[in-house]
Amino acid sequence: MGIAKLYLFVLFSLSTPLALFECWGITHFRIAWGQPLPQDTFWGKQIVVKVPWNAVDVRLATRYHAFTFLVLFPVLLTTASLFFKRWVANPPQGWPAWTLFIVACVAGNMVLEDFLYFVFSTIFGKPYPHAVSRLLRGEANWHPRHLDLGYFKLPDFYVYLPFAIAILLVAVWWLSR
């Protein structure tokens, strides 16, 4: 299962520093829970007024998020994938497999980086010391939809994106056989 190992190496190597960077930025700008980046800063300026299908809160469509997910993340992902593929016996083969692999990494980063942000906030006590418990109570109000799973609530994409990622990784494996 070399593709799964490569996926986990790449995903954790990208999500961890991005989550730590986000913790630092929110602490640096002294942003209150659920508040957007200050719009009077370069990084806090919104780039769209409405997000299609209400996929995320429009406050998350800032220059910071555009730079992170459209520039920084693809560059880091490509670099890490090419670096780590030497460690794996059967890395993705061909452009179709690599494209699906990168889409799976982007989707996985959306979940893992977001969750690690809450974990690191709780561990370090900054910017929010009880972030994980607040997340599990459904208080992450910048995520528009939560699934009530009985004892806790999770943003819906924490549940459905892993299924989509699994399908993508099976397709990558199939294309690389």
Q: What is the pLDDT of residue 120?
A: 94
Q: What is the pLDDT of residue 53?
A: 65
pLDDT classification of 55: cutoffs 50, 70, 90: low
Q: What is the pLDDT of residue 89?
A: 58
Q: Which domain holds residue 105?
A: 2-33+73-175
Overall domain count for the chain: 1
Domain assignment present for 56: no
- Say if pTM beats, i.e. exceeds, 0.75: yes
| Measured CA angle at 121 (ends 116, 122), to 5 deg | 100
Domain assignment present for 58: no
SS3 160: helix
Quote the CA–CA distance of 111 and 134 in Å, as a whole number: 16
User: The tokens of 108 are what?
Assistant: 């996985």
Domain assignment present for 60: no
Q: At what angle do helices 2-28 and 156-175 cross, to 10 degrees?
A: 140
pLDDT classification of 6: cutoffs 50, 70, 90: confident
User: The tokens of 57 are what?
Assistant: 């809160």
Which of 166, 165, 143 has its CA nearest to residue 153?
Answer: 143
Q: What is the mean pLDDT of the chain?
A: 83
Least confident stretch, 19-28, 57-66, 146-155:
57-66
Domain assignment present for 133: yes
Domain assignment present for 168: yes
